[in-house]
Structure 1
Amino acid sequence: MMSWELLLWLLALCVLILPLVQLLRFLRADADLTLLWAEWQGRRPEWELTDMVVWVTGASSGIGEELAFQLSKLGVSLVLSARRVQELERVKRRCLENSNLKEKEILVLPLDLTDTSSHEAATKAVLQEFGKIDILVNNSGRSQRSLVLETNLDVFKELINLNYLGTVSLTKCVLPHMVERKQGKIVTVNSIAGIASVPLSSGYCASKHALRGFFNALQCELIKYPGITFCNVYPGPVQSDIVKNALTEEVTKPMKNDIDQSYKMPTSRCVQLMLISMANDLKEVWISDHPVLLGAYVWQYMPTWALWLTSKLGKKRIQNFKDGLDPDLSYILQKTKKD
């Protein structure tokens, strides 16, 4: 009798402890749970991505540069694209110095994503150089820090042309090659702002929401090509130049450069998780520390409450912006707690 009572007590204890363990895991998470499971039990990038040809746009800094750097250590052939040729050459040197790649295995290909007429020729140049494109990483893009009522319409056009239409155009140029081979990966760096909109970034959020809609529809259209996979990556605040290079009220008006970003996720960690996503063919991944990660879940499952909460926090975000502070949502919550 005592043994049965003990067994029941142990079962009851497990029922109580397991949810607490899962809660603790979630509170310490820096990505969605599917991605973290893949990091623990899934396929490794060094097994799956070696010997591939990877084309990275926006490779001159931030996530794009770090992605090129980590990919170079996996033995892939790289195509580095952005507008700043000197920065691309710097990234190439960094990759060569820290890997076993040879000069001919990294192609610097300058590209203005808003010049859609150049995308076909760029695609042909890559195919001529390497004969194939295994992975296209759509990483180019710019953010925004300005209020709608104070922002010129040209800023919204620039964001749509670069973040959305430029990405769509390059994808359409690369896809026929992948369809012909019946294999390939399209990785698109979106943003948590493509799930949970925030004030001061209305044009940026709109462009990222557009990308989410486009690639979700495209995946359905290409379902008959199981060898062509899509991975949509949604990072939260990451240490990069995206805030420094953000558009403001006017296309030509620069952003302040003295914003502290030390509290954000290190770029190396973000890219590490991206590579795991690519190796495991995950369709959509969220990469962020809390509280932004929690905010994405709230937007997903309680959108009305999330919109109310965002509106309340938006006042603090806007005030931080006017005070010259980084208005990112995670920073607002940290400041709110301190206040």
Structure 2
Amino acid sequence: MFFTIIGAGVIVYGIFYTVVTSLLDSDLYLGFLDKFGKSPRKLKGKVVFITGASSGIGEHTAYALAKHGVKLVLAARRQNELQRVKAQCLALSGGQLEDKDVLVLPMDVLDVSSHQMHFDRAVRHFGTLDILVNNAGRSQRAAWEQIDLDVDKQLFDLNVFSVVNLTRIALHYFNTKGEGHVAVVSSLAGVIGAPYSGSYTGAKHAIHGYFNSLRLEKSSNNIHVTLLCPGPVFTNFLQEAFTEKSGQKLHGSTQPTDKRMTAERCGHLNAVALTNKVSEAWIGKFPVVPVTYVSVYFPILTKLTLKLIGTDRLFKLRDSKDPVEIIKGIKKLILQV
């Protein structure tokens, strides 16, 4: 009888969670914090270092923080784009930020030997640093068995090892300071597998392994770890995405009809998660968060569902595109090389 009650409770909870998250664009906890938790204005005056800040999710996370007077280090390779983002941050701040409160830091995260120099420059400029947001990275679209091993290595260098290296530098500083906060823009692909993105999915799972381990190590310290896990978002990520061949870019694009979250909304939810020191945040328009929840907590049900809908439909749910056309496009690129 006892186990029957427990089982019934799990089922009721699962149904409740799935229904509620169907009405939100995030997991239940983050949705609650967005309405009733600490506002990003609580971070006013803090200093946040964001990599990959020249476009996409990094850019819009910077905007969401700038609106509340958060001082920023904007790091990326393209200085002109960083200057554009800086100008917009200052405008959105409504006078809360001055020119010196937003530092443009031209930086290639793949050059790990330069990480310490860039980090030190940011600390010297502001005299302190409170949060590091590792956002720089690239996605991928490719058939698993066709991927060159060099692509796996390049993707891990960018999406994993550059992140780990910069974070370790930040941790040495935070350990001395006695407090700090590190975050990574991961993906829902780091929570569950994603088809036609084997290297990318593997890299995001590696990020979760690294940072979940770090969180446990720092659980008794005043150092916080946040994994930000967005689903499909309107950015230029498909333009720069890896394929199966080294040196290739997908040169894909999103369409207005795609079922994606706006980068602005994603940036806001990232800011909420950072303010409230959330351990892991799932972000995305229906139905990606409920699907992720069911996949994690009801794997047998997920397996049966996949047999019914097929992998191609799952891909279309993720990218609002036909996977066959994506793979054809990749093969066409290869033939042109």
TM-score, length of structure 1 as denominator length:
0.85
Name 1:253's counterpart in structure 2: 248
Which deviations, in whole Å up to 9, do the C-alpha atoms of 1:206-262 show, x marking residues without a partner? Answer: 00000101111001111231x211111111101111122110122322213344254
Secondary structure at the counterpart of residue 142 of structure 1:
coil
How far the C-alpha of 1:98 sits from its partner, in A, is: 2.7
Q: In 2 relative to 1, CA 22–141 (structure 1 residues): closer, same or farther, beyond 3 Å?
A: closer
Q: Contact 2:235/2:254 (CA < 8 Å) preserved in 1? A: no
How far the C-alpha of 1:308 sits from its partner, in A, is: 5.4
For residues 44-55 of structure 1, what are the structure 2 equivalents within 5 Å?
A: 44-46=39-41, 48-55=42-49
Name 2:22's counterpart in structure 1: 27
Which deviations, in whole Å up to 9, do the C-alpha atoms of 1:53-107 show, x marking residues without a partner? Answer: 1100010100101111121121121100111122111111221233222111111
Name 2:130's counterpart in structure 1: 134
Corresponding position: 1:322 with 2:324 = yes
Corresponding position: 1:97 with 2:94 = no
Secondary structure at the counterpart of residue 28 of structure 1:
coil
Name 1:62's counterpart in structure 2: 56
Q: How many aligned residue pairs are there?
A: 308
Which deviations, in whole Å up to 9, do the C-alpha atoms of 1:132-170 show, x marking residues without a partner? Answer: 110100111110001122222111111110111110000
Q: Contact 1:55/1:78 (CA < 8 Å) preserved in 2? A: yes
Of 309, 313, 316 in structure 1, the residue corresponding to residue 310 of structure 2 is: 313
Q: Based on CA coordinates, which of the two structures has the bigger radius of gyration? A: 1
Name 2:109's counterpart in structure 1: 113
Secondary structure at the counterpart of residue 233 of structure 2:
coil
Name 2:76's counterpart in structure 1: 82
Name 1:228's counterpart in structure 2: 223
The whole-number CA distance in structure 2 between the counterparts of 1:259 and 1:320 is 13
How far the C-alpha of 1:205 sits from its partner, in A, is: 0.4
The whole-number CA distance in structure 1 between the counterparts of 2:49 and 2:304 is 40
Q: In 2 relative to 1, CA 310–271 (structure 1 residues): closer, same or farther, beyond 3 Å?
A: farther
How far the C-alpha of 1:20 sits from its partner, in A, is: 9.2
Q: In 2 relative to 1, CA 22–59 (structure 1 residues): closer, same or farther, beyond 3 Å?
A: closer
Moved more, 97-106 or 75-84: 97-106
| Letter of the 1:75 counterpart | G
The whole-number CA distance in structure 1 between the counterparts of 2:49 and 2:128 is 10
Which deviations, in whole Å up to 9, do the C-alpha atoms of 1:189-211 show, x marking residues without a partner? Answer: 11000011111100000000001
Q: Contact 1:198/1:310 (CA < 8 Å) preserved in 2? A: no
Moved more, 166-175 or 141-150: 141-150
Secondary structure at the counterpart of residue 49 of structure 2:
strand
Of 223, 227, 232 in structure 2, the residue corresponding to residue 237 of structure 1 is: 232
Secondary structure at the counterpart of residue 198 of structure 1:
coil
Q: Contact 2:51/2:75 (CA < 8 Å) preserved in 1? A: yes
Name 1:332's counterpart in structure 2: none
Q: In 2 relative to 1, CA 236–23 (structure 1 residues): closer, same or farther, beyond 3 Å?
A: closer
Gaps of 5+ in 1: 1-17, 328-339
The Cα RMSD (Å) is 2.4
Name 1:333's counterpart in structure 2: none
Name 1:330's counterpart in structure 2: none
Gaps of 5+ in 2: 1-12, 330-337
The whole-number CA distance in structure 2 between the counterparts of 1:283 and 1:66 is 21
Q: Contact 2:18/2:293 (CA < 8 Å) preserved in 1? A: no
Secondary structure at the counterpart of residue 173 of structure 1:
helix
For residues 77-226 of structure 1, what are the structure 2 equivalents within 5 Å?
A: 77-99=71-93, 100=95, 101-225=97-221
The whole-number CA distance in structure 1 between the counterparts of 2:81 and 2:255 is 23
Q: In 2 relative to 1, CA 257–141 (structure 1 residues): closer, same or farther, beyond 3 Å?
A: same
